[in-house]
A and B are shown apart, each in its own frame.
Chain A
Amino acid sequence: MLAQSIMLGIVAGIGILDSRIFGMLMLERPLVTGMLVGLVLGDVTTGVIIGAQLELIWMGIAGIGASTPPDVVTGGILGTAFAIISGQGAEVALVLAVPIAVLAQSLGVLVRIINGYFLHKADRYASEANFRGVTFMMWIPPILFFLSVFIPTFLAIMLGADQVKGLIDAVPKTIIDGLGVAGNLLPAIGFALLLDMLFTKKMGVFFFLGFLAASYLELNITAIALLGSCIAVVIHIVINNKNEEQVSQPYNNLTEGEINFD
């Protein structure tokens, strides 16, 4: 268990650093960490399936703006790991992952607060034109971010696996099944969050277009995405440009070296 605990801790570390120093390659998402947890614990298929389930639930949780979202890294990894270790399904992953993510979020907040100290030291180095010092202050916080998920993940798997298994076995079946139902309902939060970002009265019809295409025509997501792209081009480029030509506005292209006379 020791080796696996360390490896899962490292997976968590990579996940949390994804948004920090890897340029948001999406390594932090449950869909990816689920696969990695599965690899570490020797059950990739289950890891991938649970990862997909958690990804749906957390679809709308995004690290955008200044807010700190629930920590889907620690939550997703521990949830998936405990579900695989205990031999239970995605319901267990979910009931563990959701509260863990909320708890772990506070550690992320703490690190961001501590980073203020390094910021002020960096200010001092900047006023001395000390490039090395500034660079150093920039690289300490990622270490803190790494530890903020490595330590809890390592300890939880190392010390908690047996207890969690016992706890899960003690939960009555109706509750576990009920959690399965909740798991099917939870992705609605993710979709609602996305709608909150995208939905407007004018554009709302496109949501229904996608919904109806899937419901009645039974198209899959790839087909819907491709058709949606075509529709977007038709509406926003073909039709829009036509309107512009009709009112005979000069069309400006943006080629290099073009002289702008206005």
Chain B
Amino acid sequence: MTEKKVTKKELNQIFWRSFALQGAFNYERMQNLGYVYTMIPVIKKLYKEHDDQVKALNRHMEIFNTTPAVAPTIMGISAAMEEQNANNPDFDASSISAVKASLMGPLAGIGDSLFWGTFRVIAAGIGISLATQGNIFGPLLFLILYNIPNIFVRIAGLKLGYRVGVNSLERIQREGLMDKIMAMTTTVGLVVVGGMVATMLKIETPLKFNLKGAKVNLQEILNQIMPNMLPLIVTFIVYFLLKKKVSITKLTLGILAAGIIIHWIGIL
């Protein structure tokens, strides 16, 4: 029997199709239709029997949800496992689903903090600092800076996933490399968010007092204690309200109302 093999052609198809992962997002099984859609070329290539095709399709119709950028890594592993399954009659096909289910959570954790909490924040921070002056390179730089890691992780993850399969990824996790990457990205993310609170929150008070004939500017005093003290305080007030499970919609409406009132009183 000739060995059935996933070729470069199918991997390329996985790569392009993986962009549409959330195309048919639904509440019941989330990204599953997008996932089965990316796996179709592999299933077609590996299985010729009707029953095998049905089984494979149903396998990938199961619930799936992870950060889109890291999904190709899992798809690469799925492709490698489907290949083993097609060639080895003793292969336990349920392990394909088990691996998917066990990887999507941890990879979503690392993917979200990497892409949403770090790359996006850095790219947006740099982009916004240009764009506030009306510079068109702001949005363009934002897109470029974010998408370099986005595309790179998609390509490299797919290749890595297919080539090394399940075992190595488990090993990476066991050796704590995942934790290390996570800790590093969290560090950078926090540093940048700290910088953004200081540079992008423009909260200054126009309040002035008359103290024994001398005019006192409150903002100048605050600046002498610590520059950007008000932005820091406001951020932490909102942070603690979030921790108290106040919804974002309520917070937004609250701040809109508070802004008008505070301005009317003359504090800000």
Could you tell me if A216 and B24 are in contact, using CB atoms closer than 8 angstroms? no
Kindly list chain B residues whose C-beta atoms are within 8 Å of the C-beta of A195.
Answer: 190, 193, 235, 239
Could you tell me if B201 and A187 are in contact, using CB atoms closer than 8 angstroms? yes
Q: Chain A interface: which of B31-39, B73-81, B209-217?
A: B31-39
When chains A and B are docked, how far (Å) is the Cα of A66 from the Cα of B32? Answer: 13
When chains A and B are docked, how far (Å) is the Cα of A177 from the Cα of B260? Answer: 8
Could you tell me if B139 and A48 are in contact, using CB atoms closer than 8 angstroms? yes
> Is the C-beta of B107 less than 8 angstroms from some C-beta in chain A?
no
Q: How far is the CB of A91 from chain B (nearest CB, A)?
A: 10
Using CB atoms, name the residue of chain B closest to A102: B249
Could you tell me if A137 and B33 are in contact, using CB atoms closer than 8 angstroms? yes
Chain A interface bracket (under 10, 10 to 19, 20 to 34, 35 or more): 35 or more
Could you tell me if B190 and A19 are in contact, using CB atoms closer than 8 angstroms? no
When chains A and B are docked, how far (Å) is the Cα of A49 from the Cα of B175? Answer: 46
Could you tell me if B26 and A182 are in contact, using CB atoms closer than 8 angstroms? no
Could you tell me if B37 and A196 are in contact, using CB atoms closer than 8 angstroms? no
Chain B interface bracket (under 10, 10 to 19, 20 to 34, 35 or more): 35 or more
When chains A and B are docked, how far (Å) is the Cα of A180 from the Cα of B202? Answer: 11
When chains A and B are docked, how far (Å) is the Cα of A73 from the Cα of B21? Answer: 19
A window 185-202: CB within 8 A of B? 185-189, 191-200
Task: Name 5 extra pairs, CB < 8 A, besides A31-B124, A211-B197, A252-B175.
Answer: A34-B131, A46-B134, A134-B40, A181-B268, A198-B117
- Interface residues of chain B, those whose CB is within 8 Å of chain A, are 18-30, 32-34, 36-37, 40, 43-44, 50, 53-54, 57-58, 61, 65, 67-69, 108, 112-113, 115-117, 120-129, 131-136, 138-139, 142-143, 146-147, 150, 154, 163-164, 168, 171-172, 175, 177, 180, 183-203, 226-228, 231-232, 234-239, 241-243, 248-249, 251-253, 255-264, 268
The 9 A-B pairs with the shortest beta carbon distances in the complex, nearest first, are A182-B259, A210-B194, A178-B260, A228-B191, A23-B19, A214-B198, A52-B131, A211-B194, A210-B191
Selected A-B contacts with CB under 8 Å, 20 pairs: A31-B138, A46-B134, A51-B139, A59-B121, A115-B26, A119-B33, A123-B61, A129-B53, A181-B268, A187-B200, A187-B201, A188-B235, A192-B235, A193-B242, A216-B227, A225-B125, A229-B188, A232-B188, A236-B184, A256-B164
